[in-house]
Structure 1
């Protein structure tokens, strides 16, 4: 079991790596789309908490899921669109955002898998979105009996002095296991076309656990259509973890509280699965990666809240990757 003692944000890497080391930091954050029945958990009450958590950790990359534009109908004298993403852009002045809605670039009035990246520390080189369907290039397309389209947004970036990487962000279907398997396959096929030397981080809300068929495929433990993934789990592979006892990331605004029913459900699911020792969790929000130059040194299930009010019905997951010393040497030569 990894170390789970409390650590303060901003000093984690220095605890177990040289001060000359550089890191790639990322957070995956399901923001929970606005619903009329949310009441005290409405976006208006949560947006400041969301922004404060991101500003506290200051990751280079923030992969968000479920963020959307909301058509306002009340009060009656207000018209137009209110965007969760626009609210975050205002509250996170140090970040740029990238991504389109699952309906396509011509219709933003739906959920996004938006990627926020540090304005000062990441240079965006390229990016795009594809649909998890039999027609990946067709906006709003869906397959495998899904109720709504699902997408993957990717961004190629460079962290000075020249560390190139790609990040892929998704929100897999929440009902159909077949759609999750096929969606995972499509995303892995996208990653497989990239140069093997390019580090890739793949994260998001997978709506299933790592020992599911989709998870086992991505982690190279089973096949899908004769193919097997080659990704690794940052949480399980991290040298240190904070809140390692949190075996789930979707909590339904209950936070760390667990009812007897919740505990029995977790025990039942655990008994039904043959866990790998590194993946003894029921997280549905993951950070996976590919590339020898990425080494996960710290992961945290972020349980921050404001007087019992949580930023979302999912806990964010924060990961620090240590970068190779060759990057540091290049920077020293340039200086």
Structure 2
């Protein structure tokens, strides 16, 4: 497992012993912004600030075994999210000012972009990019705004927008992960369809905090039309900051203010609910464990899913779940 932290380090862990592989630790000179892991586990890609006063970023890919470092060209402002294509050939990054950019993993050169995320007629301001994710066939990528109110799908080759849903607007910044399902049929995301309104003035003339309850629902969107597929996942009462889809697309886990919920993906059945203050989470490749971090805690926790939950999803005669979702990285604040 690979983890990243605001302490400027990326670390690798032996899951059998629970200990860090210390010789693999990498220390960035400046604050790390984000990290991604290639699907084959070979490359750890990091974005860090190299000139804080002018907000210049540096993108690097480090080979897990050889420690060879590749640098990606260009000047860009605050890469907030990155992803490596499933075939390992492309790196995509969402910048604060420069839209979405795509680089060659082999040469480090910019090969596509910038893809400009446009505002609609209802707002003159373009959305801030919160999450970007390649499709499994590496031909498309999806963008989610940082407030979970806009979702877009773009074509890599034509560099054109295929489809979008949602409007621009204020709200809680969540940057919750998004996922493509098997054969890129659909996209799973936390989404907010409600218009944000200014809170009413209280008796003293002050406005209350903005509403938080609108980012508590997970939707499945058809990848071609972005129309909603099936029933949403409902049950959280606070914004969902952590989201994970199992590698075989059978289970989905979500983390809100004080709660983790575990669902059967196809049936939408709630399988379990746990009280814990979780920040981010990810399934193991076998889908039998959850790794997660907690708010204000520097530890990584491994949770073994109960046998009754596993047996309810996979009958005893079934083999090990087939991997269909790429590996992800656990970031620790």
- Scaled by the length of structure 1, the TM-score of the pair is 0.35
Q: Comparing both chains, which one has the higher relative contact order based on Cα–Cα distances under 8 Å and sequence gaps of 6 or more?
A: 1
Larger proportion of strand: 2
Q: TM-score, normalised by structure 2?
A: 0.36
The structure with more helix, counted as a fraction of residues? 1
